[in-house]
Amino acid sequence: MNKKTAVIILAALFTVPPLTIMAQQDDEPPEMGFFVTSVGIGDGANLGGLAGADAHCNALATAAGSSRTWAAYLSTQGSSAVNARDRIGDGPWANANGLIMATSVENLHYDNSNLNWTTSLDENGNQFASRIETPEFSEHDILTGSQIDGTAYPTGQDQTCDNWTSNSEGSARVGHADRWSFLTPGSPWNSSHGTPGCSQEELVSVGGAGLLYCFATD
């Protein structure tokens, strides 16, 4: 065997066929595209508006190793109302463990998605405190300001704590990340009830901490 023949044989032995590479890539879990924030901003429902909420999502995601662009699932009210469903990209979105939570905006809403206590993980892959496991301490309320279809509430009763700028007067619509209402499963993940006020203490009093749903938009 001459030197040239040996080189060809070795190259053939150690070359991975393109189809094998593609199969390996297909087996890799999808990149994280959804999480519940591990912490709130800490100023009640005053998030600094949508921009402040988005910045919070991006800061937490970056710290967790993500390089994607993120937006908070929040609606606003008034003449320039914004629908939460219109600002989160097209999907699909996976949690930190690679589980697909929803394949599209339509699939995300109503009872079509995989959002529940065991799957709605934070940016580090941890579960939030739920009544299911720790009834004495829970952070199951997630700020959304949205109706069940992901659209904004009409002008009138405040559902967004003055478009996420108030930490005192007003109310914020929240969803139940654990999908429970007292002892009954099936509560909407994005539109369950309003808060008694907008301060941090008032959010905590009903099982919240100013947490957000964050979605990758790219």
DSSP string, 29-89: PPPB-EEE-SS--SSTT--SHHHHHHHHHHHHHHHTT--S-EEE-----STT---GGGSS-
pLDDT in tens, 3-57: 444 433 334 433 434 433 333 345 788 999 999 999 999 999 999 999 999 999 9
Asked if residue 169 is part of any domain, the answer here is yes
| Percent of the chain predicted with pLDDT > 90 | 71
Asked if residue 81 is part of any domain, the answer here is yes
Asked if residue 22 is part of any domain, the answer here is no
DSSP 84-151: GGGSS-S--EE-TTS-EEESSHHHHSTT-S--STTT-BBTTSPBPP-TTT-TTS---EEE--B-TTSP
The pLDDT of residue 9 is 39
Range of the domain at 88: 32-216
Contact 77, 42 (CB under 8 A): no
Asked if residue 171 is part of any domain, the answer here is yes
The pLDDT of residue 20 is 35
The pLDDT of residue 187 is 80
The CATH number that applies at residue 71 is: 3.10.100.10
> pTM for the full model?
0.84
Two structure tokens written together for 118: 């065991």
Asked if residue 14 is part of any domain, the answer here is no
Say whether pLDDT at 103 is over 70.
Answer: yes
Asked if residue 7 is part of any domain, the answer here is no
Residue 86 identity:
D
Give the SS3 label for residue 192. coil
The pLDDT of residue 134 is 60
Ramachandran category for residue 179: left, alpha or beta (phi over 0 → left; psi -120 to 50 → alpha): left
Please give the residue that has the higher pLDDT: either 187 or 138. 187
Asked if residue 15 is part of any domain, the answer here is no
pLDDT in tens, 138-152: 688 999 999 999 999
Asked if residue 1 is part of any domain, the answer here is no
The pLDDT of residue 151 is 98
Q: How confident is the model at residue 186 (pLDDT cuts 50, 70, 90)?
A: low
The pLDDT of residue 189 is 94
The pLDDT of residue 129 is 67
The pLDDT of residue 179 is 74
Say whether pLDDT at 90 is over 90.
Answer: yes
Please give the residue that has the higher pLDDT: either 14 or 78. 78
Total domains in the chain come to 1
